[in-house]
Amino acid sequence: MAMINLRSVSVSFPVYNLNARSFKKYFLRLATGGKVVEDANKHVMVNALNNISLTFKHGDRIGLIGHNGSGKSTLLRLLATIYEPTVGSVQINGNISPMLDLMSGVETELTGYENITIRGRLQGLSYQDIKNQTEEIAELTGLGDYLSMPVRTYSSGMMVRLAFAISSSIKPDILLIDEIFGAGDADFIEKARQKMISLLNQSSIVVLATHSDELITEFCNKALLLEAGQVKYFGDTKVALDKYHHKGE
**Do 138 and 82 fall into the same domain?**
no
Whether 212 is covered by a domain: the verdict is: no
Above pLDDT 90, what percent of the chain? 47
* Residues 220 and 245 sit within 8 Å (Cβ to Cβ): no
Distance CA 6, CA 62 (A): 14
User: How high is the pLDDT of residue 248?
Assistant: 47
**Do 56 and 128 fall into the same domain?**
no
**Do 72 and 19 fall into the same domain?**
yes
Whether 31 is covered by a domain: the verdict is: yes
Whether 235 is covered by a domain: the verdict is: yes
Q: How many helices (H) and strands (E) does the chain have?
A: 8, 10
**Do 73 and 120 fall into the same domain?**
no
Above pLDDT 70, what percent of the chain? 84
Question: Tell me: the pLDDT tens digits for 56-80?
Answer: 999 999 999 998 889 999 999 999 9
Distance CA 112, CA 155 (A): 13
Whether 100 is covered by a domain: the verdict is: no
Whether 99 is covered by a domain: the verdict is: no
Confidence category of residue 4, pLDDT binned at 50, 70, 90? very high
Return the higher-pLDDT residue of 3 and 123.
3
Question: Tell me: the pLDDT tens digits for 9-36?
Answer: 999 887 666 554 554 555 455 444 555 5
**Do 41 and 78 fall into the same domain?**
yes
Confidence category of residue 101, pLDDT binned at 50, 70, 90? confident
Number of domains in the chain: 2
Q: b/e string for 19-36 if b means 16 or more Cβ within 10 A? A: eeeeebeeebeeebbbbb
Model pTM score: 0.78
What is the span of the domain harbouring residue 70?
A: 3-94+221-244
Mean pLDDT of 221-247: 93
Whether 211 is covered by a domain: the verdict is: no
